[in-house]
Amino acid sequence: MHGFEYASPTTREQAVKLLGEDWNEAQILAGGTDLLALMKDEVISPKRLVNIKDIADLKGISFAPKSGLRIGASATIQQLIDSPDVRKHYPAIMQAAEGISSPQIRSMGTAAGDLCQRPRCWYYRAGYGLLGQDGSGKSLVVDGDNRYHAILGNSGPAYFVSPSSLGPALIAYGARLRVIGVKGPREMPVEKFFVTPASSSEREHNLKPNEIVAEIVIPAPAPGTRSATYEVRQKEALDWPLAAASVVVDLRGNEVRSARIVLGHVAPVPWPSEAAAQLLTGKAISQETAAAAGEIAVRGAKGLSRNGYKIQLAKVAVKRALLGAAKGGAI
């Protein structure tokens, strides 16, 4: 790891001023569970780390029946799991957080850090850039080991999958991000925060080098709302899912009034399926309708040489998330 400056501001304004116009100038340090690993592997070498853990108004989780849930950027995964409000009103978020099985990452990793973490693609982590390309610009992924890469949104040049555990659930709930920077605050839907880069000079997040994710705001769920997250994993120990789905459905009796279905770990961004959601409208959730929604959710999926199995896993994740939501929790 290369040497770096360390700053520990106590206000948002101080933190923003310590950032730069280039990602190599400074990086935000919150939990550090991803950042420090990237630095140790010399994938990135920022000149300064700006610790935001001492900024009081970036912390905490609060809920109000009218305005909904506020999650501070530096709220930890364990705090999400321990929150009775998250457990009661937002079970899909709770289940996504519980899927992060490492006690160490739960206690140190933060909500904003989960959204901002970089791809787990081993080509990127080995120093071949965000798009995993050789010196001539040719993708190493297409003809290489792509077992865990994208099956949707993979027409190129990006083949990595978004590693965020919370992203799909937050998008399904209609959450928004509040970002602060040198030009003032701005707000966006979580869905717009994730970006599929078209070149190696771009990034996968709608965030500038001199901006900080300050908080996540989620609307209060309407009466009759049911939700769930279901993840398909290779092992129970700490690992990222092979495929996941978060669903939020508005039920009136057994009938679906509206739905949001978002796939995770199958595309460079969390992947909403409007077609699958529309299929459910006006119907009851059953084994048959849930399976049909899973089929539609992966319509257009294209397996690479070694990851075609993920298409079936994504179908299963959607089906089981819907069945779990209908019964009040994941199954």
Write down the pTM of the prediction.
0.97
3-state secondary structure of 184: strand
CB 140 within 8 A of CB 130: no
CA distance to 141, 149, 241, 265, 328, per residue, from 300 (Å): 20, 15, 21, 16, 30
Place of tokens 């190493």: 140
Q: Which domains does the chain have, with CATH numbers?
A: 5-54 (3.30.43.10), 225-326 (3.30.390.50)
Specify the DSSP class assigned to residue 56. Answer: G
CB 229 within 8 A of CB 330: yes
Specify the DSSP class assigned to residue 64. Answer: E
Q: Which pLDDT tens digits describe the chain residue by residue (331 residues)?
A: 899 999 999 999 999 999 999 999 999 999 999 999 999 999 999 999 999 999 999 999 999 999 999 999 999 999 999 999 999 999 999 999 999 999 999 999 999 999 999 999 999 999 999 999 999 999 999 999 999 999 999 999 999 999 999 999 999 999 999 999 999 999 999 999 999 999 999 999 999 999 999 999 999 999 999 999 999 999 877 889 999 999 999 999 999 999 999 999 999 999 999 999 999 999 999 999 999 999 999 999 999 999 999 999 999 999 999 999 999 754 3
Q: How many CB atoms lie within 10 A of CB 17?
A: 14
